Structure 1
Amino acid sequence: MVATRIDGKAFAAKLRDRIAGQVAALKDEHGITPGLAVVLVGEDPASQVYVASKGKQTKAAGMNSYEHRLPDDASQAELLALIGRLNADPAVHGILVQLPLPKHIDEAEVINAIAVKKDVDGFTTANTGRLATGQKAMVPCTPLGCLMLLRDQLGDLSGKDAVVIGRSNIVGKPMAALLLADSATVTVAHSRTKDLSDVVRRADIVVAAVGRPQMVKGDWIKPGATVIDVGINRTDSGLVGDVDYDGVAAVAGAVTPVPGGVGPMTIACLLANTLTACCRANGLPDPQGLGL
């Protein structure tokens, strides 16, 4: 068996096209343009690349992009004041603070200062709580992208046995909540789970988000299972995921590559969340075909 390669890059491109069409319709029919504000503190090279990419794709979708840069030594009070202004700005529908932040800034306090309705990263305590309890929420972009890929590959997830490897607030926990909402049977495993390979081996769906290069081996995988690799690990041989792709591809029914799998979905889902936030702010129905 050779697994189907799940092409996240192609899926994300189609999603962005769909978003651009809905943004154009929103402008034509209501005179409204969604706006995304991205805040970068400091000069982290990787963060600068991410912010530039987000700005480029936001504009390509027909949205307004607002970029705010603060120096590395900016105070927490300055950052919170900026967020306060963005919360109050009606032209801004989504706010994203690029992580990580400098060590002198309380990340949790900053995230929770973002207005819940503009929290397009889905990281505020209010949105994570709503997601966990089955209420309407802004959903973190990476898990949302994973869910889209799973639905596209498998259709109905009801009754599927899913294992999420990783328990982070950004991926693992919200991924489990999304799978539960789709009526999958979910196990959240992690690096300290006993007999981890045996736990994974029974799963129809495996989502690997543990941050360990190529940890998930082919003999961990149930034949025909669908494997979503969230990991992005820089090694001497280049970028690799949390999954041993070649070994897993020989057993699985479908698997995402790294790069080109989950990664491209994250920014596309950020745009989807911004469009959703804009519609909700203006009393319009949620856009169709963009996730939940």
Structure 2
Amino acid sequence: MKDVISSLYDSKMAALKAKIDAEKFDVKLTIVTVGDDPASKVYVRNKIRLFDELGLPCEHITLDEAGTTQADLDVLAANADHPMLFQLPLPNGLVAPDLPAAVDVDGFGSETLGQLVLGNNVVLPCTVQAVIDIIDNHYGENHFAGLKVAVLGRSNIVGKPLAIELINRQSTVSSFNSRSDLAAVDWTQFDVIVVATGFHGTLDNSQFVEGQLIIDVGINRIDGKLVGDVKHHEDVVSAAAITPVPGGVGRLTCLHVLGNAIKLCEMKQR
């Protein structure tokens, strides 16, 4: 699957480059971070590198953890006139401001999610779009209707908006969360299983069968290694197609920060 993800990334990147070159509109992103979270540093660095690669401006605002208040973040959001994101997690109980849809590059705001429920959204949350891309690449755009999909996790970032988008595409969606009895589920009944619980070992590769597509959204650090939410038994060769961690969903997610910024800037300049 790693080769599949790489090929998908390259084709999406080429399409974005061509769009920028053809349309000649201004694209800019502002990233706001608070504190010194090591994982956030990696994510932000990857996003900035992506914009630099295309010669696009990406402003990085870094705020001190001790002195930053919710009001400080709200002021930044209120004055945003181009795509912006607040890098999660935020410390000290701070929450990302509810950005209006016109600048909400992450797709987390109430206006963007409301548009998603109604099927009128311009952008999807970046990880959701990455998952949709992988399913589309595997089955084809015209095969979402009737596709049996299990979504494990109910976060506002992945689980909930993904389930809604799949419903919009007429898939048959089953949603599971931390209170679900996962041991009682026959996982072989699903065409696609998306695991986004943030817990390593939620499912394991012995539970899947040939023909299934398993999309592992999780990123966990176990014994110094990055692993997903799916546990891989070394003595089990799974017949299912399983996205790798690292080098899977996360790589496409970063790309869709760029893709969403382009869409929002395009909408503004029409």
The 5 A counterparts of 1:192-271 are 192-196=179-183, 198-236=185-223, 238-245=225-232, 250-252=238-240, 254-271=241-258
Partner of 1:111: 97
- Separation in structure 1 between the aligned mates of residue 262 and residue 48 of structure 2, nearest angstrom: 15
- Separation in structure 2 between the aligned mates of residue 64 and residue 100 of structure 1, nearest angstrom: 23
- Separation in structure 1 between the aligned mates of residue 3 and residue 159 of structure 2, nearest angstrom: 20
Match of 1:25 among 22, 27, 35: 22
Seen in structure 2, the aligned counterparts of structure 1 residues 245 and 79 have a Cα distance that, compared at 3 Å, is same
Q: Compute the displacement of 1:78 (Å).
A: 1.9
Contact 2:208 2:238 in 1 (8 A): no
- Separation in structure 2 between the aligned mates of residue 6 and residue 245 of structure 1, nearest angstrom: 19
> Which residue identity lines up with residue 69 of structure 2 in the other structure?
S
> Which residue identity lines up with residue 148 of structure 1 in the other structure?
D
Q: Compute the displacement of 1:282 (Å).
A: 1.1
- Separation in structure 2 between the aligned mates of residue 137 and residue 197 of structure 1, nearest angstrom: 38
Q: Compute the displacement of 1:222 (Å).
A: 3.9
TM-score normalised to the size of structure 1?
A: 0.85
- Where do 5+ consecutive residues of structure 2 fail to align? none
> Which residue identity lines up with residue 76 of structure 1 in the other structure?
Q
Deviates more, 1:148-157 or 1:62-71: 62-71
Seen in structure 2, the aligned counterparts of structure 1 residues 199 and 61 have a Cα distance that, compared at 3 Å, is farther
- Separation in structure 2 between the aligned mates of residue 180 and residue 249 of structure 1, nearest angstrom: 32
Q: Secondary structure at the match of 1:7?
A: helix
Match of 1:37 among 7, 12, 30: 30
State percent identity of aligned pairs: 33
Contact 2:126 2:254 in 1 (8 A): yes
Q: Secondary structure at the match of 2:246?
A: coil
Q: Compute the displacement of 1:5 (Å).
A: 5.3
- Separation in structure 2 between the aligned mates of residue 66 and residue 26 of structure 1, nearest angstrom: 22
Q: How many residues align?
A: 266
Partner of 1:79: 73
Q: Compute the displacement of 1:173 (Å).
A: 0.7
The 5 A counterparts of 1:78-157 are 78-85=72-79, 87=80, 89=81, 92=82, 94-105=83-94, 107=95, 110-112=96-98, 114-155=99-140, 156-157=143-144
Partner of 2:166: 179
- Separation in structure 2 between the aligned mates of residue 42 and residue 225 of structure 1, nearest angstrom: 41
Seen in structure 2, the aligned counterparts of structure 1 residues 159 and 47 have a Cα distance that, compared at 3 Å, is same
Seen in structure 2, the aligned counterparts of structure 1 residues 140 and 281 have a Cα distance that, compared at 3 Å, is same
Query: What whole-Å deviation, never above 9, does each CA across 1:74-101 have from its counterpart, x for those lacking one?
Result: 122222222222x2x3xx2x11111111
Partner of 1:165: 152
- Separation in structure 1 between the aligned mates of residue 91 and residue 182 of structure 2, nearest angstrom: 37
- Separation in structure 1 between the aligned mates of residue 48 and residue 224 of structure 2, nearest angstrom: 30
TM-score normalised to the size of structure 2?
A: 0.91
Q: Secondary structure at the match of 1:231?
A: coil
> Which residue identity lines up with residue 75 of structure 2 in the other structure?
A
Q: Secondary structure at the match of 2:107?
A: coil
Q: Compute the displacement of 1:279 (Å).
A: 0.9
- Separation in structure 2 between the aligned mates of residue 217 and residue 83 of structure 1, nearest angstrom: 41
Q: Secondary structure at the match of 2:149?
A: strand
Q: Compute the displacement of 1:21 (Å).
A: 1.7
> Which residue identity lines up with residue 74 of structure 2 in the other structure?
L
What is the aligned-residue RMSD (CA, Å)?
1.9
